Amino acid sequence: MIRLILLGGPGSGKGTQADRMKERYKAVKISTGDLLREEIRRESELGRRARQFMDKGELVPDDIMIGILDKITQKFESRKQSYILDGFPRTLPQAEALLEMLKKQEVALSSALLIDVPESELVRRLSSRWTCKNCGATVGYPDGKPRHAVCGQCGGELYQRDDDKKETILNRLKVYRKNTEPLIRYFEEKGLLKRVNGFGDPDSIAAGIAEILEHLPRT
Ligand SMILES: [Zn+2]
């Protein structure tokens, strides 16, 4: 089975590739946000503890998140079900705690796979989105300026949401870089980091990922 961490900036196409890998490798995509909501809904011990922090507007501590992940991954181990972690770990302490958790399970992470896209390309992709004021439809103009001033669906005026503006995007990327660079170095030192070229169309990126996964040790 494969135990994978997926890393990549906003706009890297990480979600799309995770979905493709799910099909190709019969893997489960683990979203810690979904898991957390499920624990809270079921009012499990971990869910109740998590809730105490969330009710105060605080972040859920890493040990609770790891507790939740430990539970679900052990279930997957017993079924020999491959899994992909998307959106976790986000920080170095989380990465360390995760590897510690796997060590206790006496299993090994297959790889931390980084979808590598140059920052200028991420900015181009992220800032290409325009939204219709009238119907909310979105349209991508990769050169940054809309070719048409109005919405193709309804003729409404197109505008750029604050989230999609260059300044906001540069800030998001700065935060991403600050959190992720130590993670990348950490997995690199552990010999677990694999980089896939994320510049190109989804098919060629998927082929690059397949090539890497082919050569990973299966346990
Ligand atoms: Zn419209």
Query: Rounded CA gap, 71 and 98, in Å?
Result: 12
Average pLDDT over all residues of the chain? 92
Within 10 angstroms of residue 207's Cβ, the number of other Cβ atoms is 12
Sheet bearing 129-132, strands edge to edge: 138-140, 129-132, 158-159
How does pLDDT run across 8-57, given as a tens digit for each residue?
A: 988 898 888 999 999 888 999 998 888 999 999 999 999 999 999 999 99
Task: Give the whole-angstrom CA distance, residue 96 versus residue 182.
Answer: 11
177 is catalytic: no
Catalytic site includes residue 172: yes
Average pLDDT rounded to a whole number, residues 166-177: 91
Check residue 144 and give its pLDDT. 67
DSSP letter string, 99-140? HHHHHHTT----EEEEEE--HHHHHHHHTTEEEETTT--EEE
CA separation for the pair 155, 136 (Å, rounded): 11
Question: What mean pLDDT do residues 101-125 have?
Answer: 94
Residues paired with 29 in a beta bridge: 84
Give yes or no for residue 218 having a pLDDT over 90: no
What is the whole-number distance in angstroms between the Cα of residue 162 and the centre of ligand 1?
A: 18
The mean pLDDT value for 106-118 works out to 95
Contact 9, 176 (CB under 8 A): yes
Cα–Cα dist 109/94, whole Å: 14
> Which domains, from first to last, does the chain contain?
3-118+183-214 (3.40.50.300)
How many angstroms separate the alpha carbon of residue 134 from the centre of ligand 1?
Answer: 5
Helix, strand, coil percentages for the chain (3-state, nearest 5): 50, 15, 35
Is pLDDT above 90 for 148? no
Over residues 178-199, mean pLDDT:
95
**Reported pTM:** 0.84
| Per-residue model confidence as pLDDT tens digits over 58-98 | 989 999 999 999 999 999 999 999 999 988 999 999 999 99
Average the pLDDT over 119-137 and give the result.
90
For residues 197-217, give the mean pLDDT. Answer: 91
Query: Of 29, 51, 90, 124, which is the active-site residue?
Result: 90
Answer yes or no: are the C-beta atoms of 139 and 129 closer than 8 Å. Answer: yes
42 assigned to active site: no
Residue indicated by tokens 């890297």: 12
Which position among 3, 14, 125, 194 bears the catalytic label? 14
What pLDDT sits at residue 95? 96
Active site residue 49: no
Residues near ligand 1 ion, CB 5 Å cutoff: 132, 134-135, 137, 151, 153-154, 156
- Calpha distance 201→198 (Å, rounded): 8
On the question of pLDDT at 181 being above 80, the answer is yes
Catalytic residue from among 24, 161, 174, 190:
161
Q: Which residue has the higher pLDDT, 65 or 143?
A: 65
Distance from Cα 159 to the centre of ligand 1, integer Å: 11
Whether 174 shows a pLDDT value over 90: the answer reads: yes
Q: Is the pLDDT of residue 157 over 80?
A: yes
Mention every residue, 6+ apart, whose C-beta is less than 8 A from residue 109: 3, 4, 5, 98, 99, 102, 192
Distances in whole angstroms, Cα of residue 143 to Cα of each of 52, 118, 123, 216: 46, 16, 11, 38
Our answer to whether residue 133 is catalytic in this structure is no
What pLDDT does 33 receive? Answer: 87
Q: What is the C-alpha separation between 90 and 178, in angstroms, rounded?
A: 10
CA of 123 to the centre of ligand 1 (A): 24
